[in-house]
Amino acid sequence: MKDVKGFIIDLDGTVYTGVYAIPGAIEAVKKLQSFNIPYVFLSNRGNYSRAMCEAKLKGMGLSVDPERIVLSSTVTARFLLQQYPGEAVWPFGDPGLAEELRSHGVVMAEQPEHAKWLVITLHEHLTYAELNQAFRAVRHGARIIATNEDKMFPTEAGDCIDVAGMIGAIVHATGEPVSHVMGKPSTIMANAALSVLGLAPEQCIVVGDSLTSDIGLGSMHGMKTALVLTGNATQQDIDCAEQRPDYISNDLLQLVNDFEVECGLR
Amino acid sequence: MKDVKGFIIDLDGTVYTGVYAIPGAIEAVKKLQSFNIPYVFLSNRGNYSRAMCEAKLKGMGLSVDPERIVLSSTVTARFLLQQYPGEAVWPFGDPGLAEELRSHGVVMAEQPEHAKWLVITLHEHLTYAELNQAFRAVRHGARIIATNEDKMFPTEAGDCIDVAGMIGAIVHATGEPVSHVMGKPSTIMANAALSVLGLAPEQCIVVGDSLTSDIGLGSMHGMKTALVLTGNATQQDIDCAEQRPDYISNDLLQLVNDFEVECGLR
Of A49, A9, A57, nearest to A227 (Cα)? A9
Check: CB of residue B207 under 8 Å from CB of residue B7: yes
Q: Is B120 on the interface with A (CB under 8 A)?
A: no
- A123, A132, A167 member nearest B172 (Cβ): A167
pLDDT value at residue B234: 81
Q: Is B30 on the interface with A (CB under 8 A)?
A: no
The residues that bridge with A118 in the sheet, in sequence order, are A90, A144
Which CATH architecture best describes the domain A6-44+184-262?
Answer: 3-Layer(aba) Sandwich (3.40)
Average pLDDT over residues B150-161: 87
Please indicate whether the domains covering A6-44+184-262 and A73-181 agree at the CATH topology level. Answer: yes
Average pLDDT over residues A143-148: 98
Q: What pTM does this model have?
A: 0.92
* Residue in A closest to B136 by C-alpha: A159
Residue A234 — very low, low, confident or very high, per pLDDT cuts 50/70/90? confident
B236 burial level (CB within 10 Å; 0-12, 13-18, 19+) = exposed
Q: pLDDT tens-digit profile of B13-58?
A: 999 998 899 999 999 999 999 999 999 999 999 999 999 999 999 9
Q: pLDDT tens-digit profile of B91-136?
A: 999 999 999 999 999 999 999 999 999 999 999 999 999 999 999 9
Distance CA B227, CA B243 (A): 11
Of A65, A6, A10, A5, nearest to A249 (Cα)? A10
Q: Is A178 on the interface with B (CB under 8 A)?
A: no
Distance CA B28, CA B228 (A): 13
Q: Is B33 on the interface with A (CB under 8 A)?
A: no
Q: pLDDT tens-digit profile of A40-65?
A: 999 999 999 999 999 999 999 999 99
pLDDT value at residue A166: 98
Dihedrals phi, psi of A9, to nearest 5 degrees: -120, 125
Q: pLDDT tens-digit profile of B203-241?
A: 999 999 999 999 999 999 999 999 999 988 888 888 888
Q: How far is CA B22 from the centre of its chain?
A: 17
Q: pLDDT tens-digit profile of A196-215?
A: 999 999 999 999 999 999 99
Q: pLDDT tens-digit profile of A98-108?
A: 999 999 999 99
pLDDT value at residue A79: 98
pLDDT surpasses 80 at B156 = no
Distance CA B85, CA B166 (A): 25
Check: CB of residue A9 under 8 Å from CB of residue A218: no
Helical ranges in B60-174 per DSSP H: 72-83, 95-103, 128-139, 163-174
Check: CB of residue A120 under 8 Å from CB of residue A167: yes
pLDDT value at residue A62: 98
CA distances from B7 to B184, B210, B238 (A): 16, 16, 21
Distance CA A124, CA A151 (A): 14
The residues that bridge with B9 in the sheet, in sequence order, are B41, B207
Distance CA A173, CA B166 (A): 9
Residue B193 — very low, low, confident or very high, per pLDDT cuts 50/70/90? very high
- Beta strands A39-43 and A69-71, pairing class: parallel
CA distances from B230 to A136, B12, B61, B223 (A): 22, 9, 20, 21
Confirm whether the ipTM is greater than 0.95.
no
- A128, A160, A171 member nearest B126 (Cβ): A128
Provide the 10 A C-beta neighbour count for residue A38. 16
- B232: which DSSP letter? S
pLDDT value at residue B188: 97
pLDDT value at residue B81: 97
pLDDT value at residue A18: 86
Of B171, B92, B98, B178, nearest to B128 (Cα)? B92
Q: Which CATH class is domain A73-181?
A: alpha beta
Return the domain boundaries, chain A: 6-44+184-262, 73-181
Q: Return the amino acid letter for A250.
A: N
The helix, strand and coil proportions of chain A, stated in percent and rounded to the nearest 5, come to: 40, 20, 35
pLDDT value at residue A242: 81
pLDDT surpasses 90 at B160 = yes
pLDDT surpasses 90 at A14 = yes
The CA distance from A68 to the nearest CA of chain B, in Å, is 31
Of A154, A157, A211, A151, nearest to A181 (Cα)? A151
Instruction: Report chain B's mean pLDDT, rounded to a whole number.
Output: 96
| B165·A173 Cβ contact <8 A | yes
CATH of B86-181, one of 3.30.830.10, 3.20.20.70, 3.40.50.1000, 1.10.10.1150: 3.40.50.1000
Distance CA B54, CA B57 (A): 5
Q: pLDDT tens-digit profile of A74-88?
A: 999 999 999 999 999
Check: CB of residue B180 under 8 Å from CB of residue B149: no
pLDDT value at residue A189: 98
Q: Is B162 on the interface with A (CB under 8 A)?
A: yes
Maximum Cα interatomic distance, chain A, rounded to a whole number of Å: 60
Q: Write out the H or E segment, with its range, that includes residue B235.
A: helix B235-240
